[in-house]
């Protein structure tokens, strides 16, 4: 979607250009310190130099974090992505920026007229977005505020502290960026839970983004601490399939296990999702594809085990797509398709078969390093020997859709 080397410098001064690789640990720590202070006073979010500011904008760039786009913003970016980025006229750049700012966001342009650094205008929302992309436990911040007044959540004076850190607003933004949206009833239920005297409370909601015949429900699990903190610890995702069978998985809301609502749905429907996992061999966090293992017994906490494919497994999504001979009208469509496939989404694609252009839907299968192809009714596509694929033996996924794997000898 964008020129990778142009993200981090302002669009009006080429001398300010610098690479992300050149960012030092000192600058990273300085940014964290600034954001920690700004949690209580977002209006004081001021950066000491352009490098720190651009580092922050790069980190919360919604072009690179599409799971956090709301529907209106997603439609806007999709519309303007039909115009070759880098070939936008001045008036088109202005039009795009005005449309984005009209709904509460802003962006920059690099020297090639490529839009970068898509972010909320509101500083408080910027901080909340950073927290969601790089989840950090804010308990320490909230408890420091509570300790200052020697009080807890149930006393009236806690409301004074909330002016410094609006916990309710933070929790609403958290719901939004996790993918639960901004539903009024959900917000009302959240406020009731916050106002209640119960230490634990739960919210219920659902999703209509499943495959036909499936039903998705969520239960969000909150708890309150003695010092005033209110936290979404986890949510339960419950998929009921066409046979009436229920599959349940608890997803923690933490840095180590952070999945959006859509990613949770994709996992329960049998697809794989790219995320950051700690490799037990190196004890370091690294990109990995994960899927739920429905064939193995659940663990002691009632969750399915993850089947994990780490970096050394050699999954290259771009190469898989390239060798699958899919046809894309524009280069940015291919880039967007690769990102969407890695999130476990079902992606609309086109490919040539017997001199005909076939419209299909594709799902990435990291285990076999290929694509699964379906028609618009999610039925398997009959292909000739040149497009012969591997059969996926995942019984759960077969129960949801009839599949055909497309392999190109990877």
Tens digit of pLDDT for each residue in 139-149? 333 333 333 33
Q: Cβ distance 255 to 135 under 8 Å?
A: yes
pLDDT computed for residue 407 by the predictor: 31
Of the listed ranges 30-34, 96-100, 326-330, the least confidently predicted one is 30-34
pLDDT computed for residue 112 by the predictor: 67
Confidence label for 364 from pLDDT (cuts 50, 70 and 90): very high
Residue-range domain boundaries for the chain: 4-132, 136-269, 317-406
Tokens of 253: 């809301």
Percent of all residues in the chain with a pLDDT value above 70, rounded to a whole number: 72
Nearest partner of 161 among 138, 174, 137, 142, judged by Cα: 142
pLDDT computed for residue 211 by the predictor: 93
Q: Cβ distance 8 to 18 under 8 Å?
A: yes
Between the alpha carbon of residue 320 and those of residues 141, 271, 350, the distances in Å are 44, 16, 15
Average pLDDT over residues 95-121: 82
Residues 142-198: tens digit of each pLDDT: 333 333 333 332 333 333 334 445 789 889 988 988 999 889 999 999 999 999 999
pLDDT computed for residue 409 by the predictor: 29
Core vs surface per residue 321-338: b (16+ CB within 10 A) or e: bebbebeeeeebbbbbbb
Confidence label for 82 from pLDDT (cuts 50, 70 and 90): low
β-sheet bridge partners, residue 276: 287
Q: Between 292 and 255, whose confidence is greater? A: 292
For 269-382, where are the alpha helices, taking DSSP H only?
317-323, 331-342
Residue 315 phi, psi dihedral angles, 5° rounding: -85, 120
DSSP string, 298-326: P-TTS-PEEEEEEGGG---HHHHHHHTTB
CA–CA separation, 139 and 225 (whole Å): 9
Confidence label for 286 from pLDDT (cuts 50, 70 and 90): confident
Residue 29 phi, psi dihedral angles, 5° rounding: -65, -35
Average pLDDT over residues 43-54: 78
CA–CA separation, 80 and 162 (whole Å): 39
Q: Between 117 and 37, whose confidence is greater? A: 117
pLDDT computed for residue 30 by the predictor: 79
> What rounded mean pLDDT belongs to the chain?
76
pLDDT computed for residue 391 by the predictor: 36
Half-sphere exposure of 259 (CA within 13 A, CB side): 29
Torsion of CA 83, 88, 91, 97, to 10 degrees: 80
């Amino acid at each position: 979607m964008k020129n990778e080397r142009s993200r981090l410098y302002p669009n009006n001064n080429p001398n300010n250009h610098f690479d992300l690789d050149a960012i030092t640990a000192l600058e990273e720590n300085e940014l964290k310190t600034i954001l920690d202070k700004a949690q209580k006073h977002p209006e004081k979010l001021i950066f000491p130099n352009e490098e720190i500011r651009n580092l922050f904008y790069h980190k919360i760039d919604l072009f690179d974090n599409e799971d956090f786009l709301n529907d209106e913003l997603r439609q806007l970016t999709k519309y303007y992505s039909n115009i070759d980025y880098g070939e936008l006229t001045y008036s088109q750049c202005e039009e795009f920026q005005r449309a984005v700012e009209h709904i509460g966001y802003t962006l920059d342009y690099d020297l090639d007229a490529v839009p970068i650094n898509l972010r909320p205008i509101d500083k408080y929302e910027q901080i909340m977005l950073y927290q969601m992309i790089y989840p950090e436990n804010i308990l320490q911040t909230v408890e420091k505020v509570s300790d200052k007044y020697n009080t807890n959540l149930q006393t009236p004076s806690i409301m004074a502290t909330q002016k410094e850190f609006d916990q309710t607003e933070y929790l609403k933004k958290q719901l939004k960026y996790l993918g639960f949206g901004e539903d009024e009833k959900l917000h009302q239920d959240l406020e009731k839970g916050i106002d209640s005297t119960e230490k634990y409370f739960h919210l219920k909601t659902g999703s209509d983004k499943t495959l036909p015949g499936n039903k998705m429900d969520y239960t969000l699990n909150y708890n309150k601490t003695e010092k005033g903190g209110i936290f979404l610890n986890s949510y339960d995702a419950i998929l009921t399939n066409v046979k009436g069978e229920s599959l349940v998985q608890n997803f923690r809301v933490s840095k180590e296990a952070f999945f959006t609502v859509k990613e949770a749905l994709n996992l329960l429907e049998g697809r794989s999702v790219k995320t950051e996992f700690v490799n037990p061999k190196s004890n370091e966090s690294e990109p990995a594809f994960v899927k739920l293992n429905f064939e193995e017994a659940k663990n002691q906490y009632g969750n399915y085990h993850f089947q994990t494919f780490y970096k050394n497994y050699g999954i290259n999504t771009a190469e898989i797509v390239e060798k699958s001979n899919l046809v894309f009208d524009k280069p940015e469509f291919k880039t967007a398709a690769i990102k969407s496939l890695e999130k476990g989404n079902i992606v609309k694609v086109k490919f040539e078969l017997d001199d005909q252009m076939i419209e299909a839907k594709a799902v990435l299968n990291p285990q076999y390093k290929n694509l699964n192809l379906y028609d618009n009714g999610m039925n398997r596509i009959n292909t000739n020997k040149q497009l012969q694929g591997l059969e996926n033996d995942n019984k759960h996924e077969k129960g949801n859709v009839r599949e055909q794997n497309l392999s190109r000898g990877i």
